[in-house]
């Protein structure tokens, strides 16, 4: 059970991290945090996992290059604007016809748990990532109720298998094609690598 708790908390932290990075442009303070010991150590820990090594290493390289640029925060904000405000790549409905039952579940979960984002649209990719974090953390707290833990895992499986899997691969591909700066393209690659590892965990290991 302790392994399940720690894994769930780690999964929650990862999804929350991705949701935060994609939900809004990064401030100067946010950007400088990438040069902190804790965040560099966090990225190194991701790179030690074989399924994540290529994407995590590439993201580390992109971060290093970005921090060396003049006006890096302005360039990153421009990149965010082009990708996620003008092109609206985080509108998941633009990629595929989404499962209506899963969207209904997402809407119900948003009403139940809320969101830290200003936009509570169930189609917003950052909301779906945050909800995965919320459910993962909630499941880590259900140590005495197997039924409640299983129910939370089933909700995560539904979101992963019926929503996230339909838009994350094309989202990552579009970021590669459109992000001339490279930060969000490499971040999307890392997100997809984490998700592939996580959906395997949900479908084959978690219980």
In terms of Cα–Cα distance, which of 170, 179, 191 is closest to 21? 191
Number of H helices, E strands in the chain: 10, 0
Architecture per CATH, domain 2-204, reads as Orthogonal Bundle (1.10)
Sign of the C-alpha dihedral computed for residues 163, 165, 167 and 168 taken in this order? positive
**pLDDT tens profile 8-59:** 999 999 999 999 999 999 999 999 999 999 999 999 999 999 999 999 999 9
**pLDDT tens profile 91-137:** 988 887 777 888 888 899 899 888 887 777 888 999 999 999 999 99
Note the pTM of the prediction, 2 decimals. 0.94
For tokens 């019926």, name the residue.
162
Q: Which residues pair with 124 in a beta bridge?
A: 91
User: How many Cα atoms within 13 Å fall on the side-chain side of residue 207?
Assistant: 2
CA distance 11 to 66: 27
């Amino acid at each position: 059970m302790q392994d399940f708790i720690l894994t769930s908390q780690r999964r929650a932290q990862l999804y929350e991290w991705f949701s935060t990075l994609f939900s809004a442009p990064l401030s100067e303070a946010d950007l400088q945090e990438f040069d902190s010991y804790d965040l560099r150590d966090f990225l190194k820990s991701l790179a030690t996992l074989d399924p994540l090594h290529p994407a995590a290493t590439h993201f580390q390289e992109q971060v290093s290059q970005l921090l060396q640029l003049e006006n890096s925060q302005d360039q990153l904000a421009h990149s965010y604007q082009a990708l996620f405000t003008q092109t609206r790549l985080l509108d998941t409905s633009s990629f595929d016809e989404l499962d209506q039952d899963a969207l209904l579940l997402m809407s119900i979960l948003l009403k139940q748990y809320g969101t830290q984002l200003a936009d509570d649209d169930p189609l917003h990719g950052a909301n779906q990532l945050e909800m995965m974090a919320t459910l993962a953390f909630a499941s880590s707290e259900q140590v005495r109720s197997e039924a409640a833990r299983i129910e939370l895992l089933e909700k995560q499986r539904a979101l992963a298998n019926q929503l996230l899997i339909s838009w994350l691969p094309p989202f990552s591909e579009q970021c590669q094609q459109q992000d001339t700066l490279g930060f969000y393209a490499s971040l999307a690659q890392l997100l997809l690598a984490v998700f592939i590892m996580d959906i395997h965990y949900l479908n084959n290991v978690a219980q």
